[in-house]
Amino acid sequence: MSTAIKFGTDGWRARIAEDYTFDNLRRCAQGFATYLHNEGLAGKGVVIGHDKRFHADNFAAAAAEVLAANGIHVWLTDGATPTPTISYAVVDKQAGGAINITASHNPPEDCGFKVRDPLGGALAPAALKKVEAVIPEIDGVKRMRLDDAMSDGMVTKFDAAPAYIAQINRLIDLEPIRNAGFKVLVDCMWGNGAGWFPRLLGDSKTQIHEVHNERNPIFPHMSRPEPISPNVDHGLSFVKKVGADVAIINDGDADRVGFGDENGNFIDQLRVYGMLGYYFLELRGERGPIVKTISTTKMLNKLGKLYGVPVHETGVGFKYIAPKMVEVGAMIGGEESGGYAFREHVPERDGLLAGLFLLDMMVRTGKKPSELLDTVFGIVGAHYYDRIDSSFEQERKPEILANVAAARPDTIGGLKCTDIVTIDGHQFIMEDGGWLLVRFSGTEPIIRVYCETTHGDRVEAILNDGMKIAGLR
């Protein structure tokens, strides 16, 4: 029997050469081609791009061969391209969607297959189910040689950068950042973000210092290209060495971002989302709905009340955030893993644009990152976050699910439990407005236990109670 392919939080990801094979990749591409025909989108063409993982460029070429054989024109990127740049290319080309060969922040052994809609955003869960339903066995896959497809005009290689850069310049004035004289450390995490900040801000008073900016699919100095501790530690060690004012850390496909302050301290993504909310509401004076997953910060709920804007909570992943952003016309959307999307752009994470917005925040206020965080805390109070990712024996999954579903704790970490939310996993709301969330990852075979609280001394106890609820301690 062939591999049963299921799309998780953001596409399909699997171990290269185990389940992620050329045959299975082609099956996914055929399923997407059939979906596009069924939805009347095939005539608009498709953008295909990839990251810098092992064989990613060859996997992208194989996907292009399948779509071309199905009569669908392909714009194939001419090299590794950031995910937000690929997503914007869908809008620029007025295409029917995109295929992106990337496993984002997963371990180096993995690769992935992401699909996007005509707006450049993630397909909604119902649409993903339609794609899954028409993924055939390998003998049902159409294909043609890439050289023939290019000769026939069915595949066109292109550079997605110029259109994306023009879009960036419509969304933010880069001149004040260029003239600020900042020293910016950029950790590219061996990924697609390499060279982009020098390209956008180079030849100016602001200096860009890149680290981990070559292609290296084993991702040295980190277990995976995910901008969280301890993966960020090696990059942050350069902050003091180069005298940087800020560190910007992009994940492997540059759709997510992490930040370090002027002292080399990591600023977690929940705090960053609070800072971005403040930036748009206070410094730019913008108004509009905010969309957030349940796994990100309640600081946004507090800012929403203060500034009179609605806050919508969704399940985890941009397959929920993107459709909600479009539905409500959101000003900003984001998630706990450092993915943030913005109005008048594609409803997709953009780690490059988010980094530029933070630099603009520094320009507008004259404050360093640690001072900006203090400013936000001065409005909504200090918030503390942490997460445990735990592997488990897969046969225990039903037992763990039952444990969590049955849990009705009076207290968590010594704080009274006031409510339980089951949008995605089980979220236990605490008396301080903080929360504990227990859910299975949609991209990896692990269980995640997260928390946010206003009591910094309770974080460890809250997470420990979460593991006990799951029956893992």
Specify the pTM.
0.94
Instruction: Establish whether domains 177-265 and 269-380 are of one fold.
Output: yes
pLDDT score of 1? 58
Please state which CATH number belongs to domain 12-164.
3.40.120.10
Which CATH number fits the domain 269-380, given the four candidates 3.40.120.10, 3.40.50.300, 3.10.129.10, 3.30.365.10? Answer: 3.40.120.10
Which CATH number fits the domain 177-265, given the four candidates 3.40.50.10140, 3.40.120.10, 3.30.2350.10, 3.30.70.260? Answer: 3.40.120.10
Query: Regarding the domain with residue range 384-469, which homologous superfamily does it belong to in the CATH classification?
Result: Alpha-D-phosphohexomutase, C-terminal domain (3.30.310.50)
Domain segments of the chain as ranges: 12-164, 177-265, 269-380, 384-469
pLDDT score of 445? 82
Q: Kindly report the number of other CB atoms within 10 A of residue 291's CB atom.
A: 29
pLDDT score of 153? 97
pLDDT score of 11? 85
Block means of pLDDT (10 residues each) for the chain, 473 residues, are: 80 94 98 98 98 98 98 98 98 98 94 96 92 96 97 98 98 98 98 97 95 97 95 98 98 97 97 98 98 97 98 93 95 95 96 98 98 98 95 91 96 97 96 96 87 97 97 90
